[in-house]
Structure 1
């Protein structure tokens, strides 16, 4: 029977959605939904859209630079024999940076923005911590030849083949335009080449964007499935976060017992105990130095009332029967509180009776 119970425990299915606490813990460990393909596709598309918007600036600038370079070709040998080549190399580097930095800035901003949209702000060092299982050669060998690796390989081949088809088919459709580039000016050639390259890139980026959307949706579904919990895991998490209900019940029981003990210790110091006579018992003490009105120091019902009356009898505390007053005090005044003004007269009569008995 024990083996059957253990088998049922270990084979319990994960049928419950992840709790907010488990999702927070997974996020802190770096287990988040993020598609690199989506960030790459959007950044790729954004860069070439920026290049399209800056096409006149880039084409004119590059043509001007290449024209200047071509004019320097006859003097290249002489240039490298002198110190001018350093200036030439520095000028070439600055020109490349001048046209490349705006595009790199667009790629950086879009990449950060896409990561933030997918993940939000997250800083964790959990993913950087070294793990021994990651350097296990046997486990690495299994991962290389696993079904998951095979699926990823097939996906990569299919994606590369589709991109190659998109590029080749677009170039073939514009082959007549490419053939006339040998007969026109360089500036016109660069314009035609740019239009063809931009067309290829836009179509490839659009394809990657569509693939990335499906990839992100799949990873989101896979992450939700991986984070699913069993009913026992949810119970264990509740115990850890809220505390064991049994332990909390024991603590409350001890607190009640401690409060009851303190209450019973105050009964011998009371001036009078007012009873129902069987169901309620309320101990009252009046100290004019501490309070302007009598204070309820103990009260109880049924068995607690019997204990209060027993302790009062043992310590010679007067017990007065007054059913309406006992019921009202029990329901309206808490332990440690002074009696309300509307009960002053009734309680005063009881105290006067008690004081008269004490003097007698």
Structure 2
């Protein structure tokens, strides 16, 4: 009993790598290995790149908008039409400024996901599931090992990115202290440049950390998908079918094929026998084939059944040991007689036709 319990324990232990089918099933549910840090790093990198490229244009648009507001709009009379015109115009200008950033952000999000998991569209994660709002399950997630790992990851991200950004500020601290002696445009240009440097530096730091996060996510994903030996066996049974059921199906198929074969024996012209081990039922029909063909064949007990049916339907049986053995091993049911056996089979059929004429 103890041995059986041990075997059951080891059979239930998840030690096997997930099968391709299980991975595909999980993928259809939206459960894949991906790092959100990769998405964030790509998003920041693309956005800061677009800000560098279009930053001057955005600045000019904003400056123009403010100048227009304080030189022209401020003198307008406040009416429904003027308010609508001001807000609609400001909205259009803001859309022009933000459009490149929004488009590149969408592209970055799609690209980072595609690089990690390829193309995947599923609505499974959106379906309502009571387990997601189960307080017990929620508490387990909060106090799980994975939650602790995520906390440590967040701490290290803050630490590394904080060190990088502080280093950038420290490098430019002297120039920053002298900003009080510069004009507004120079100060804004300085802060714009420093912000871009800090952003890109932090982005590359996050991108570096995201590599380790992705490796961890892959490891954790594979670990959670592991299967027990019994799981693998059950999945194989579901795919291939239970071996016992499959054997029964095959046996049924053999029985049906045997019945169909036996139903053709009465239509045979002759049965060639061994005489005890082999039986080959042959028919010649010019409309169906250009040569005689086999309608049934059998070994031992099947051969005896073929001979009994032949006898009951007055189909002539001819004993020819070498021919019966050769035909059984070289031809299947429904096939025409091979050319090398034409002469021997023709002689037997001629003999059978003579007997039938005498009768």
TM class, shorter-length? 0.7 to 0.9
1:203 is aligned to: 201
Structure 1 CA distance for aligned equivalents of residues 185 and 209 of structure 2:
36
Any unmatched runs of 5+ in structure 2? Answer: none
* Alignment partners' CA distance in 2, 1:68 and 1:182: 28
Q: Is 1:105 matched up with 2:97?
A: no
How much has 1:60 moved relative to structure 2?
A: 4.0
| 2:249 corresponding residue in structure 1 | 251
Aligned-partner Cα distance in 2 for 1:269–1:88: 98
Structure 1 pair 85–263 and aligned structure 2 pair: CA distance change class (3 A): closer
What are the residue-to-residue correspondences of 1:151-190 with 2, within 5 Å? Answer: 151-190=149-188
> Which segment is superposed worse, 98-107 or 280-289?
280-289
Partner of 2:4: 5
Instruction: Answer with 322-331 or 32-41: which moved more.
Output: 322-331
Distance 1:319 1:171, change over 3 A: same
Q: Secondary structure at the match of 1:15?
A: strand
1:350 to 1:154, Cα distance in 2 relative to 1, 3 A: closer
Aligned: 1:20 with 2:20: yes
1:150, distance to aligned residue in structure 2 (A) = 3.7
Pairs aligned (count): 356
1:96-119 C-alpha deviation (Å, 9 max, x unpaired): 333222122211111111122222
Structure-2 separation of matches of 1:290 and 1:150: 78
Unmatched segments (≥5 aa) in structure 1: none
TM-score, normalising length from structure 1? Answer: 0.87
**Cα displacement string for residues 160-204 of structure 1 (whole angstroms, at most 9, x for unaligned residues):** 243333323321321222233332333322222211111111111
Indicate how the Cα distance of structure 1 residues 185 and 86 shifts in structure 2: closer, same or farther if over 3 A, else same.
Answer: farther
Cα pair distance change 1:106/1:36, threshold 3 Å: same
Q: Which residue number in structure 2 is paired with residue 239 of structure 1?
A: 237
Where 2:16 maps in the other structure, the secondary structure is coil
The CA deviation at 1:221 is: 1.1
Distance, in Å, in 1 between the alignment partners of 2:153 and 2:287 is 88
Query: How do residues 264-275 of structure 1 correspond to structure 2 at under 5 angstroms?
Result: 264-275=262-273
In structure 2, what is the Cα distance between the partners aligned to 1:41 and 1:69?
Answer: 37
Q: Which moved more, 1:57-66 or 1:43-52?
A: 57-66
CA contact (8 A) 1:79 1:85 kept: no
**Coordinate RMSD, CA, aligned:** 2.8
**TM-score, normalization: structure 2?**
0.87
1:284-338 deviation line (CA, Å, top 9, x unaligned): 2334565543332222223332333344344443322223332332233322333
Q: Residue 226 and residue 149 in structure 1: after superposition, are their counterparts in 2 closer, same or farther (change >3 A)?
A: closer
**Distance of 1:338 and 1:154 partners within structure 2:** 77
Stretch moving more, 39-48 or 52-61: 52-61
SS in 2 for 1:31: coil
